[in-house]
Amino acid sequence: MPEEQRLYTAALSRIAAAEAELAEVRDVVTALAAGPPQQPRSWPPDLAEVLYGRAEQEHRIDQLQREARKEVLTFVRPPYVMQGNPVQEERLAAGIVYRSLYENSALTHPGATELPGFVPPGEQARATPRVPLKLMIVDNEHALLPLVSGHSDFTSGGLLLLHQSVVLDALIELFEDRWLRGTPLRFPTGDPDPGLPVSPALDAQLLSLLMSGLPDKAIAGQLGISLRTLQRRIRGLMESTGTANRTQLAWYVAQQRLA
């Protein structure tokens, strides 16, 4: 077996093992959390906390970010506990690293396509067709995730705040595996004029978004150009690279590392 194939197979095995372990953890957590929110919990305070109520959840999300010393890692997908994250911009300015892996549904969520600044300047962002759960990890010491799988109402479903433990270690490994497989996102820093010629820099941003699997409407909205301009430029890129369709163009980009 070629070395690259062996490494790829080994990586897939590690990812499958991490996801299986996470599924078991979620089953245990869901079972322990069964019952009305008023029921007393027996969580060891140094291991985990259950957060109910929007005010408490928003407070702890802000607090964790403000107390971060190095890095914040997130899996991003709708629905959201809170609209916008002003604390993130403050912490980015203070030198805290943010790495966010966006599920494609987050970038096509109502409002995202109209906001070229949806991804904050300075954030390291990647996209993937799907993330396994909503997640925030701070300094590899704390993790915040929904308590009940598939529950859209976090206020009643609850958020689980995990502290340093083997479970947190598994979540960190899961994030890093998925991060490596994500497509880097690049966004323009200004509002490009749709009537101006498309620049090489904008081409790189376009290819990055195209590689993430976003639909044309979402890509055009993120770049601040018209859908017609986008489609015309994609055809131009296929002609210049000698590719016959978008699949071939994506393969060419991956091989040449253009995005």
Q: What is the pLDDT of residue 118?
A: 58
CA distance 242 to 233: 14
For residue 121, give every residue at least 6 positions away whose Cβ sits within 8 Å of its Cβ, in sequence order, or none.
92, 189
Q: What is the pLDDT of residue 64?
A: 95
CA distance 105 to 246: 20
Instruction: Provide the CB-side half-sphere exposure for 100 (13 A, CA).
Output: 22
Q: What is the pLDDT of residue 215?
A: 82
Residue with tokens 């245990």: 28
pLDDT above 50 for 194: no
For residue 235, give every residue at least 6 positions away whose Cβ sits within 8 Å of its Cβ, in sequence order, or none.
none
Q: What is the mean pLDDT of the chain?
A: 77
Sequence-ordered alpha helix ranges (H) in the chain? 3-32, 54-66, 86-93, 104-107, 154-157, 166-181, 200-211, 216-223, 227-241, 246-256
Residues 124-141: what's their mean pLDDT?
A: 91
Q: What is the pLDDT of residue 116?
A: 46
Q: What is the pLDDT of residue 186?
A: 63
99-116: per-residue pLDDT in tens?
A: 999 888 877 766 554 444
Instruction: Provide the CB-side half-sphere exposure for 145 (13 A, CA).
Output: 27
Q: What is the pLDDT of residue 175?
A: 95
pLDDT above 70 for 148: yes
Domains and CATH numbers, the chain: 13-184 (3.30.870.10), 200-256 (1.10.10.10)
Helices 227-241 & 216-223 angle (0-180, nearest 10): 100
pLDDT above 70 for 250: yes
- What is this structure's pTM? 0.64
Asked if residue 245 lies in contact with residue 237, where contact means CB atoms within 8 angstroms, the answer is no
pLDDT above 70 as % of the chain: 68
Tokens matching residue 67: 């107390």
pLDDT above 90 for 140: yes
Can the peptide bond before residue 40 be classed as cis, meaning omega within 30 degrees of 0? no
pLDDT above 80 for 170: yes
Which 3 state secondary structure label does DSSP give 71?
A: strand
What is the residue-wise DSSP string for 177-202?
A: HHHHHSEE----SS---TTSPPPHHH
More confident residue, 225 or 65: 65
200-209: per-residue pLDDT in tens?
A: 777 777 887 8
pLDDT above 50 for 23: yes
65-102: per-residue pLDDT in tens?
A: 999 999 999 998 887 766 678 899 899 999 999 999 98
Find the radius of gyration of the CA atoms of the chain. 20
Residues 152-178: what's their mean pLDDT?
A: 85
CA distance 38 to 15: 37
More confident residue, 223 or 229: 229
Q: What is the pLDDT of residue 196?
A: 43
